Amino acid sequence: MLKVEMLSTGDEVLHGQIVDTNAAWLADYLFENGFPMTRRNTVGDNLEALAAILQERSQQADIVIVNGGLGPTSDDLSAEAAAKAAGVGLELHEEWLAHMEQFFSSRGRVMAPSNRKQAMIPAGSEMVDNPVGTACGFAMTLNRAVIFFTPGVPSEFRQMVQQQIVPRLRQRFPEVDPPVCLRLTTFGRSESDLAQSLDSLTLPPGVVMGYRSSMPIIELKLTGPAKAREAMEAVWPKVREVAGESLIFEGTEGLPAQLARRLQEKPLRLSLSEQFTAGLLALQLRSAGAPLLDSEVLTDRDETLQEAAQRAAALVQKAGSELTLVVGAMRDEQLNIVLCTPVGLHAVRLKFSANRHELRTRQEVCAMMALNMLRRWLNDAPVTSEHGWVQVVEAFSQ
């Protein structure tokens, strides 16, 4: 198995001043492409420390992806550290310098002298194109490892990984096959409950069952080598059966995206009224391309379930949409959700267990419950269902 590592650089990453979203994205992307990450290190803006860890990891790893430190300022040290680790000097990449000058002039700007630093790469290294920025990526072989150096800006980093680095890895390691990963996402059951039901499942050789908990959902993943696909697909219906009513979608496309596609296929247009979720539903659905008409965010107000239902019916008339989804205020750990459809209205009042989570998490739980009501209606299933930590205290349809 290849040893694939990431080295994140920068004091702001080391000290937790920014969240390293690049690391999470890279781990997932490499896994999907058959190069699962085996280790990750983080080093601050220190030349000696960077050079030392490059030397150390290049003797242990097959692939190292270095992220950050390719900017024009004095604390951007990756190129200098790479040259120091390899025992070579830096040399000017004339082609990249010309590219940068054109980059700035096309925007009516003069390139600052400090940007020249971004065209300096270790002697003997290979330039790796950055199609959207000024930081010149590069690759070099050091000891047993091939090392890629990338900028920290997420949009630049991701394009370089997708367009430049993974294609090079496929060429260099043609024997690598992406693993098979079957996924489904559940809502309303605990990880321990699901695990207890799945522990007795007999899996094919080399196949593992994984769990990813990210409140308010639990993802189940069956992962194995490509040669095990047929055997995995034979087991998968049993995983679906265990998930049961808690299964809300399969694959990697999220629930908002799947709902957006279903609404477009029908076609049905949706209007929203939110209180406790504060526009979260609108953000998720609009980002996924759902056909939304009116979307309102109201201040919290006391209303009965019947009053919330009347407001939902009125919003359908006002917006001219076929569907309306209303999320009320959270009062005494109780909340109203109403779904108004062309063939009827469904209203439910929910009572949550004692507040154990921060506001954002609770809003995400409520948004998921509202989306799940819509999903169940689109799938011709009963609109309301129990959700483990949530109790239905009142419900009606009309």
Instruction: Provide the pLDDT for residue 352.
Output: 81
Report the DSSP beta bridge partners of residue 223: 181, 208
CA–CA separation, 398 and 395 (whole Å): 10
**Which token pair is 397?**
């349809």
* pLDDT per residue rounded down to tens, the chain (398 residues): 899 999 999 999 999 999 999 999 999 999 989 999 999 999 999 999 999 999 999 999 999 999 999 999 999 999 999 999 999 999 999 999 999 999 999 999 999 999 999 999 999 999 999 999 999 999 999 999 999 999 999 999 999 999 999 999 999 999 888 889 999 999 888 888 899 989 889 999 999 999 988 877 899 999 999 899 999 999 999 999 999 888 988 988 889 999 999 999 999 999 999 999 999 999 999 999 999 998 999 998 899 999 999 999 999 889 899 999 999 999 988 999 999 999 999 999 988 876 667 888 889 989 999 999 999 999 998 887 766 667 888 989 98
User: Which sign, positive or negative, has the C-alpha torsion 86, 90, 95, 100?
Assistant: positive
Please check whether residue 315 is in contact with residue 267, taking contact to mean a CB–CB distance below 8 angstroms: no
Q: What pLDDT does residue 130 have?
A: 94
Rounded CA gap, 271 and 294, in Å?
A: 5
pLDDT at 119: 95
**Model confidence pTM above 0.95:** no
Contact 369, 338 (CB under 8 A): no
**Cα 168 from Cα 147, distance rounded (Å):** 12
- Residue whose structure tokens are 């989306």: 371
Token readout for 198 is 């799945």
- pLDDT given at position 278: 95
| Main-chain phi, psi angles of 328, to 5 degrees | -85, -165
Tell me how far apart the alpha carbons of residues 272 and 281 are, in angstroms, rounded to a whole number: 8
pLDDT of residue 224: 92
The Cα–Cα gap between 7 and 5 comes to 7
Residue 386: its pLDDT value, please?
A: 63
DSSP 3-state of 326: strand
pLDDT value of residue 204: 92
24 CB-near residues (< 8 Å, 6+ apart): none
Measure the CA–CA gap between 33 and 78, rounded to whole angstroms: 26
What pLDDT was estimated at residue 354? 63
d(CA 146, CA 163) in angstroms, rounded, equals 17
Would you state the pLDDT for residue 214?
80
Burial of 365 (0-12, 13-18, 19+ CB in 10 A): buried
pLDDT of 1 reads 80
Helix (H, G, I), strand (E, B) or coil at 46: coil
